[in-house]
């Protein structure tokens, strides 16, 4: 285990995906902007996608560096975020498995060049980056933003449950739901909720009537809001099915009316 008592001067924040307005990049850039403890060291944003790095670093004015491809599809399959349900996905998985060792070596070389005091992984899919940092004996803060799927005794679930806490100096889970998926035998699991920008999401700055008026919504309309990406694992399909069911109930005639037809 790396020495966690050593002074920290530079922290490398490794982002895993492309540019989007999803929770992971937004949460990271809000944390970099608002957190007082983070101002005590030099943060560096590392991303394979330049636009994603700019999305995060441009918002908070920190340095950005290019990062080798971390072969994240392998990690997505391991945590069951993606499945091997098509020929394309199977081909991509085996292609990235072949590239995985070279990816670890390339990232290890970047760690040697940048010499960060600690590395922050912005997703649970960054297994190659974690291994590269671990081999360099760099303290790892592994931010788990995805629930590790699968039953308790499934092989991939067992692998994640033990390997992530083993490689990481600290594991940050965004809620107790993610945290309970891991073993805490190393005592390094922490729950830290995603930050919220209350300068934009302040209910006192905008009334219900004004908000609906700006959005062009009727004042008496019933509105359902789904927070999160449009993905099956986040329950989008269940929400649509529920809305369809509610619409059928609302538009169908009552038993009394059906008896009159």
Q: What CA–CA distance (Å, rounded) separates 70 from 96?
A: 9
Residues whose CB falls within 8 Å of the CB of residue 195, separated by 6 or more in sequence, listed in order:
27, 30, 31, 34
Task: State the virtual CA torsion across 8, 55, 21, 27 in degrees, nearest 10.
Answer: 20
Q: How confident is the model at residue 72 (pLDDT cuts 50, 70, 90)?
A: very high
The mean pLDDT of the chain is: 81
Task: State the virtual CA torsion across 240, 243, 248, 250 in degrees, nearest 10.
Answer: -170
For range 44-60, the mean pLDDT: 78
pLDDT value at 210 more than 70: yes
43 or 105: whose pLDDT is higher? 105
Phi and psi at 203, nearest 5°, equal -65, -20
For range 15-34, the mean pLDDT: 73
pLDDT for 172 equals 92
pLDDT for 250 equals 64
Q: How confident is the model at residue 261 (pLDDT cuts 50, 70, 90)?
A: very low
**Residue 155: alpha-carbon gap to chain centroid:** 22
| Of 6-10, 60-64, 183-187, 207-211, the least confident | 6-10
For range 230-245, the mean pLDDT: 74
pLDDT value at 51 more than 90: no
pLDDT tens, 115-135? Answer: 999 999 998 999 999 999 999
Contact (CB, 8 A) for 73 and 82: yes
pLDDT for 9 equals 84
pLDDT for 91 equals 95
Q: What CA–CA distance (Å, rounded) separates 53 from 100?
A: 22
Contact (CB, 8 A) for 167 and 78: no
pLDDT for 148 equals 79
Contact (CB, 8 A) for 24 and 15: yes
Contact (CB, 8 A) for 62 and 50: no
pLDDT value at 27 more than 70: yes
For the chain, give percent helix, strand, coil, nearest 5: 50, 10, 40
Residues whose CB falls within 8 Å of the CB of residue 256, separated by 6 or more in sequence, listed in order:
none
- Considering just the CA atoms, what is the radius of gyration of the chain in Å? 22
Q: Quick count: other Cβ atoms within 10 Å of Cβ 250?
A: 8
For range 46-75, the mean pLDDT: 82
């Amino acid at each position: 285990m790396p020495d966690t008592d050593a002074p920290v001067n530079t922290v490398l924040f490794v982002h895993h995906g492309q540019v989007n307005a999803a929770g992971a990049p937004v949460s990271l850039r809000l944390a970099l902007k608002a957190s007082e403890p983070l101002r005590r060291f030099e943060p560096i944003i590392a991303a394979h996608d330049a636009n994603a790095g700019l999305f995060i670093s441009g918002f908070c004015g920190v340095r950005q560096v290019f990062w080798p491809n971390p072969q994240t599809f392998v990690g997505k399959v391991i945590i069951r975020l993606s499945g091997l349900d098509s020929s394309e996905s199977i081909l991509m998985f085996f292609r990235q498995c072949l590239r995985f060792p070279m990816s670890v070596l390339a990232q290890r070389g970047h760690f040697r060049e940048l010499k960060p005091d600690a590395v922050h992984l912005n997703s649970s899919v960054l297994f190659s980056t974690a291994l590269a940092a671990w081999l360099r004996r760099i303290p790892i803060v592994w931010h788990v933003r995805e629930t590790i799927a699968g039953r308790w005794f499934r092989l991939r679930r067992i692998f994640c449950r033990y390997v992530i806490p083993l490689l990481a100096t600290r594991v940050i889970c965004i809620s107790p739901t993610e945290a309970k998926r891991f073993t805490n035998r190393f005592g390094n699991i922490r729950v830290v909720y995603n930050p919220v920008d209350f300068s934009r999401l302040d209910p006192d700055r905008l009334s219900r009537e004004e908000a609906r008026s700006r959005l062009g919504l009727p004042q008496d309309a019933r509105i359902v809001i789904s927070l999160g990406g449009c993905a099956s694992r986040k329950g989008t399909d269940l929400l649509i099915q529920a809305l369809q069911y509610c619409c059928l109930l609302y538009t169908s005639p009552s038993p009394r009316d059906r008896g009159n037809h």
